[in-house]
Structure 1
Amino acid sequence: MLVMPHKQFLFIGIWVYRRLNRKNIFSLTHDAVMTVGMIFILIAIGIVLGRVLARIGIAQIFAESVMGIFESKFLILAMLNLTLLLLGMFIDATPTMIILVPLMLPVMNIIDVNLVQFGAVFVVAEGIAVITPPFAITLFATVRLSGVPYEELIVPIMLYLFIVAIPVLLLTTYIPALSCWLPTLIMGSKIVGPW
């Protein structure tokens, strides 16, 4: 039965496209295992780093420093967006999340940002960052898979960023109702919390 996706992949690759054989399957499996292994190593290092930062108290020191530098909630959220966009251009979303969330949670609690909103801002900002040139991780994958030159994708991506993506990020950041109303409707205000 061809219910599982990997069985469908094998069926299509072997019998429909006739491009897979034992050697190719072994090579592709090896590449996939190496990639997943690298990702898991990054996750493990990030988790250890996050725990160490929390135990030492770096997160609280960071929160106090941020509150000393930026006095308004508006500026702190703008700094969060800028940090997420810059880091997301160079680092994948998972390590960024594992490193930044333990540092930013105390700050978000101090300025009374709902954690659902914080999660939504994080996801939107990281989604934008992975397609933002010059070091767009997803953009390089798109170029490789589609065969379209990198230079041809820059203008449409930049238009999308300025017309759609950045305004959505700003709306998500500064209007908590956009990210909190549906979770509140589904799970209730006791779980989601005030926004």
Structure 2
Amino acid sequence: MISILILVFIICLLLRFPIAFSLGLACLAYVLAKGVPLIILPMKLYSGIDVFVLLSIPGFILAGNLMNRGGLTEKIISFCNHLLGHIRGGLALANVGASMLFAGISGTAVSDTASIGAIMIPAMKKEGYDAGFSCAITASSSTVGPIIPPSVPMIIAATLSGLSVGRLFLAGAIPGFMLGAGLMVIAYYISRKKNYPKHDRSSLKQIGKGFIDTFWSLLMTFIILFGIIGGIFTPTEASIIAVFYALIIGVFVYKKLNFKNIQVIVLESMKTSASLMVLVGFANLFGWILITEQLPQMISNEILNFSDNKYMVLLLINLLLIFVGTFMETIAALLILFPILMKVAVAVSVDPVHFAVIAVLNLMIGLTTPPVGVCLFVSSSIGKIGIGDVSKASLPFLAVSLLVLAAVTLFPSLSLFLPGLFMD
């Protein structure tokens, strides 16, 4: 019966059905073929979303959209330009820097690519940067967002594993900054090699003004992160605080939000949140079927029978997750594979927090892996250039991302140092 589930799921994907509907139809086909009572469908779907911490996701999505539409993206980019624009290839470095700062209000890679890319890619092309390079650096830097806290994929991972959200947020900080720094290094090297332009050095007054403009977004990240870690409020409460904070800043500080565009933002956020929750619900049903058929146990046994060496197992998991992340949406991949693979990782003495960071980092890299990484498609459509050119230009950045992944995999302290420092 499990073959029916997998076959219908793959067929739906090939027919380009949305992931949530593909999961739902596959589950329906299994239930009908197995003769399971149909009442199990709504029961398992609802139980998948009846998790308190998941309520934080709509809040963070709304807060991010409010801050983004409130004019924060432009101010972040302007600040990064003042700070890095005088260096050769400064606009490319500012692109990465903006993504690292934007991570605090976005938490998703695709929204980062679309928001930052809509401004940075045309600006870089206008100043003489290759279109392929401009799109590639934008797509690659967007993967930093879901690793540096706050992070929607980390919240999902915490929900699936029972781990602390604050602990996972902290665990992603050092790997996220390592990835951002690595992308900056390769961007600078390419910019020097191709003699990309640089600007005059900004005055301290300009840098100071840029910092003040972006200070409010940095403060929101600080409030969210240290409020959760300090036990002042839960992730769900933090997301609501973030919404009210974003409203106040957008209306009274940046003065870009009004009643009309707030209505539009709320509606867009509701659509995004609803689609994500439907995906979570169907993925829970899909996962229940897999467990019923003992597929996780079979996969776990096969991997452990092949090798019980910790690093060999992690290598196999890394390869699998990057491959899956190339073709599948991040949240869906986490929901389906994370519980299965975590069981394997824990069996070879991998710390669950360390493994969560490895899993999220893998799936982020998959978003920029040629030929079908989602972020590559988004950036290529903004830059009006073929996906092949963007894929070729992204290879150096992909190599750096893989090096960071290797370092994070081999040295658990990179993920576990901050959680141990602040939460043990």
Give the TM-score band, short-chain normalised: 0.7 to 0.9
SS of the residue 2:296 aligns to: helix
Matches within 5 A, 1:46-125: 46-125=283-362
Distance 1:13 1:139 in 2: 31
Q: CA-to-partner distance for each residue in 1:85-123, whole Å, 9 max, x for gaps?
A: 000011011010011112112211210100111011111
Distance 2:364 2:416 in 1: 19
Residue in structure 1 matched with residue 247 of structure 2 by the alignment: 4
Alignment pair present for 1:44 and 2:281: yes
Q: For the Cα contact (< 8 Å) 1:53–1:59, is it kept in 2?
A: yes
Alignment pair present for 1:175 and 2:411: yes
State the Cα distance separating 1:148 from its structure 2 match.
Answer: 4.4
Q: CA-to-partner distance for each residue in 1:107-147, whole Å, 9 max, x for gaps?
A: 11210100111011111111110011111101111222343
Q: CA-to-partner distance for each residue in 1:48-106, whole Å, 9 max, x for gaps?
A: 12233334443233222211122322221111001000000110110100111121122
Q: For the Cα contact (< 8 Å) 2:300–2:344, is it kept in 1?
A: yes
SS of the residue 2:308 aligns to: coil
Distance 2:267 2:416 in 1: 42
Residue in structure 2 matched with residue 161 of structure 1 by the alignment: 398
| Letter of the structure 2 residue corresponding to residue 176 of structure 1 | P
| Letter of the structure 1 residue corresponding to residue 317 of structure 2 | L
State the Cα distance separating 1:31 from its structure 2 match.
Answer: 7.6
Distance 1:158 1:94 in 2: 24
Distance 2:303 2:311 in 1: 13
Q: For the Cα contact (< 8 Å) 2:321–2:359, is it kept in 1?
A: yes
| Letter of the structure 2 residue corresponding to residue 158 of structure 1 | L
What CA RMSD, in Å, does the superposition of the two structures yield over aligned residues?
3.0
Compared with structure 1, are the counterparts of its residues 151 and 56 closer, same or farther at alpha carbon in structure 2 (3 Å cutoff)?
closer
**TM-score where L is the length of structure 1:** 0.75
| Letter of the structure 2 residue corresponding to residue 4 of structure 1 | L
| Letter of the structure 2 residue corresponding to residue 153 of structure 1 | V
Q: For the Cα contact (< 8 Å) 2:325–2:366, is it kept in 1?
A: yes
SS of the residue 2:333 aligns to: helix
Distance 2:316 2:366 in 1: 15
Q: For the Cα contact (< 8 Å) 1:54–1:102, is it kept in 2?
A: no
Distance 1:139 1:31 in 2: 23
Q: For the Cα contact (< 8 Å) 1:84–1:126, is it kept in 2?
A: yes
Residue in structure 1 matched with residue 423 of structure 2 by the alignment: 187
**TM-score where L is the length of structure 2:** 0.37
Residue in structure 1 matched with residue 156 of structure 2 by the alignment: none
Structure with more contact order per residue of length (Cα contacts < 8 Å, sep ≥ 6)? 2
SS of the residue 1:80 aligns to: helix
Residue identity (%): 22
Q: CA-to-partner distance for each residue in 1:17-76, whole Å, 9 max, x for gaps?
A: xxx99xxx98x9888766654443322211112233334443233222211122322221
| Residue ranges of structure 2 left out of the alignment (5+ in a row) | 1-69, 71-245
Q: For the Cα contact (< 8 Å) 1:108–1:118, is it kept in 2?
A: yes
Q: For the Cα contact (< 8 Å) 2:376–2:391, is it kept in 1?
A: no
SS of the residue 1:4 aligns to: helix
Compared with structure 1, are the counterparts of its residues 187 and 31 closer, same or farther at alpha carbon in structure 2 (3 Å cutoff)?
closer
